[in-house]
């Protein structure tokens, strides 16, 4: 399905990145008659899409910290609007390709509040989800988790409360990628197998991308939609240093398991609220006899291309304890690793970069796949000079570091989430120690944040990683210094 890649190929728009966001934008532009190419390695070694559970959920991702800031509220609202686009988006994909097998693999989402979580995160986030569901008048119903027949957790990890959100489904990410590729080619777009080495500029304008193969692709407009790997290309234009928040990777490990097809499995997503710096434990049905288990989240300076034993064993242990005890008899079809693109201030990078013709569509963290129909349409409109439909000003790439929360609040979040990782990992410590550890963590994070920068504090998960990784901490310091110089 991939076109040849001769040197000197010229396009109106070159989209760098062949994950769901890049393919969705390429398809949207191709449908409008644009000569567009989507560039990326066919094996997608650093992508987020290939390892994603692909939950089409906004409210299930809500946290108490998200709705406590203007920027978080803006991101939430985009997600709600994106949810409304998915039915038509999937119908159009089926019409474009002639492939009508439903890509949806889950009917609604069951949120579970279980005894593994901590009050300051799980209970707070569960309450925040209910609050936003009420605010947006989104249907949901309280359920008794004991009536969910498939669940069989450890009694000490059983769910205490549950709610069903009928409007939040999931798709099979692998089949979605394949259908997007097919639709792009049938619409006249081009797929290029390769990897960008550097951006090519002329004066203050982008002219193309040089590939690691030595070839150069020419384009009037270039869009960086390569997730966390976009930073490598951005670094080749020194003039942009500091004007745009840097990207790092939220490395996530997931597992596709083969379960007994004779046992009726869940038909809905089963998940906990986001917690412990991650996206909560979740199970997504993947057809008869298969389930997706996800997903860990570890902030890393560079994307990972192989799953770690540490994250895989942690994830499987959580699934056995919190979902179903006999999952240890299931087979492992594959263990996957993906890299969520995380900006140093935690918010998306969508729009023009300040270099004429260069755009960004990344930094979406956990929400890129869900937002893809909305962002693809919005970015296509801006690239082609049409009227925009959404206010993305808070997420424009050229900005000072977004400071959505106070330093005190960030430190408290980091402390609570780090302690939560201990409880989820079943730590065994004397009763008095959690309070002692909490006090030490608070003092340590506060001192480190003060030393990191006088003005800015990164999001909690980036702060925690920087404290543990001096080289990463230096990257954060350099970014803040460069941002001051640029702005």
pLDDT for 433-474, tens place per residue? Answer: 999 999 999 999 999 999 999 999 999 999 999 999 999 999
pTM assigned to the model: 0.96
Per-residue pLDDT averaged across 294-320, rounded?
Answer: 96
- pLDDT by residue (tens digit) across 342-390? 999 999 999 999 999 999 999 999 999 999 999 999 999 999 999 999 9
Dist CA 119 CA 429 (whole Å): 19
Closest to 345 measured CA to CA, from 238, 461, 229, 240: 461
Residue 475 C-beta-side C-alpha neighbours within 13 Å: 21
Specify the pLDDT at position 7. 46
**What end-to-end distance do the CA atoms of the chain give, in Å?**
44
- Among residues of the chain, what percentage have pLDDT more than 70? 98
pLDDT of 4 reads: 47
Place of tokens 């299931």: 330
The pLDDT of 267-271, averaged and rounded, is 97
Cβ atoms of 472 and 466 within 8 Å: the answer is: yes
Is the CATH number of domain 105-169+248-343 3.30.9.10?
yes
Q: How many CB atoms lie under 10 A from the CB of residue 115? A: 15
| Mean pLDDT of the 329-338 span | 96
Give the model's pLDDT for residue 242. Answer: 96
pLDDT of residue 456: 98
Q: What CA–CA distance (Å, rounded) separates 79 from 405? A: 21
Distance CA 434, CA 422 (A): 10
Q: What is the pLDDT of residue 402?
A: 97
User: Tell me, what's the pLDDT at 2?
Assistant: 42
Mean pLDDT of 221-250: 97
Does the pLDDT of residue 158 top 80, yes or no? yes
Q: Indicate the pLDDT class of residue 117, thresholds 50, 70 and 90.
A: confident
Query: Taking 60 as the threshold, does the pLDDT of residue 8 lie above it?
Result: no
Check residue 294 and give its pLDDT: 94
Domain locations in the chain?
105-169+248-343, 407-486
- pLDDT above 80 for 20: yes
Q: What average pLDDT does the structure give for the chain?
A: 96
Closest CA to 15 of 161, 154, 188, 221: 221
pLDDT at position 288 = 82
> So what's the pLDDT on residue 99?
97
What is the predicted pLDDT for the residue at 149? 86
Q: Rounded CA gap, 227 and 174, in Å?
A: 17
Mean pLDDT of 157-167: 97
9 — pLDDT class (breaks 50, 70, 90): confident
Residue 1 has pLDDT above 50, yes or no: no
What does the pLDDT read at residue 90?
98
Look-up of token digits 């609040």: 409
């Amino acid at each position: 399905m991939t076109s040849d890649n001769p040197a000197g190929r010229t396009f109106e728009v070159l989209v760098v990145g062949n994950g769901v966001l890049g393919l969705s934008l390429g398809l949207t532009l191709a449908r409008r008659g644009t000569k567009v190419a989507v560039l990326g390695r066919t094996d997608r070694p650093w992508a987020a899409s290939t390892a994603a559970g692909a939950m089409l959920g906004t409210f299930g991702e809500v946290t108490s910290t998200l709705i406590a800031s203007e920027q978080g509220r803006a991101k939430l609202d985009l997600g709600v609007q994106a949810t409304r686009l998915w039915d038509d988006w999937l119908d159009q994909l089926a019409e474009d390709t002639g492939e009508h097998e439903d890509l949806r693999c889950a009917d609604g989402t069951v949120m579970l509040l279980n005894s593994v979580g901590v009050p300051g995160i799980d209970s707070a986030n569960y309450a925040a989800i209910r609050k936003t569901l009420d605010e947006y008048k989104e249907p949901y119903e309280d359920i008794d988790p004991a009536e969910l027949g498939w669940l069989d957790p450890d009694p000490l990890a059983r769910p205490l409360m549950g709610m069903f959100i009928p409007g939040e489904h999931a798709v099979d990410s692998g089949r979605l990628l394949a259908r997007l590729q097919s639709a792009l080619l049938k619409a006249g777009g081009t797929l290029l197998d390769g990897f960008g080495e550097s951006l090519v500029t002329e004066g203050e304008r982008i002219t193309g991308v040089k590939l690691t193969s030595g070839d150069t692709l020419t384009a009037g407009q270039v869009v960086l939609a390569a997730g966390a790997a976009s930073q490598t290309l951005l670094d080749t234009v020194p003039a942009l240093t500091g004007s745009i928040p840097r990207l790092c990777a939220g490395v996530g490990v997931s597992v596709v398991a083969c379960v007994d097809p004779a046992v009726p499995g869940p038909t809905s997503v089963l998940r906990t609220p986001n917690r412990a710096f991650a996206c909560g434990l979740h199970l997504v049905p993947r057809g008869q006899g298969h389930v997706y288990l996800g997903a860990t989240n570890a902030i890393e300076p560079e994307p990972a291309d192989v799953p770690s034993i540490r994250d895989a064993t942690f994830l499987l242990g959580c699934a056995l304890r919190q979902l179903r005890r006999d999952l240890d008899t299931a087979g492992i079809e594959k263990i996957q690793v993906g890299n969520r693109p995380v900006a140093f201030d935690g918010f998306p990078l969508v729009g023009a970069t300040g270099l004429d013709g260069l755009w960004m569509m990344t930094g979406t963290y956990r929400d890129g796949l869900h937002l893809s129909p909305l962002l693809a349409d919005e970015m296509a409109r801006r690239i082609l000079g049409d009227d925009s439909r959404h206010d993305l000003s808070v997420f424009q790439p050229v900005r000072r570091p977004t400071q959505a929360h106070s330093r005190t609040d960030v430190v408290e979040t980091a402390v609570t989430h780090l302690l939560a990782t201990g409880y989820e990992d079943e730590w065994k410590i004397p009763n008095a120690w959690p309070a002692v550890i909490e006090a030490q963590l608070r003092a340590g994070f506060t001192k480190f944040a003060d030393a990191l920068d006088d003005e800015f504090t990164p999001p909690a998960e980036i702060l925690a990683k920087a404290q543990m990784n001096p080289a990463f901490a230096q990257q954060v310091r350099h970014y803040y210094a460069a941002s001051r110089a640029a702005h």
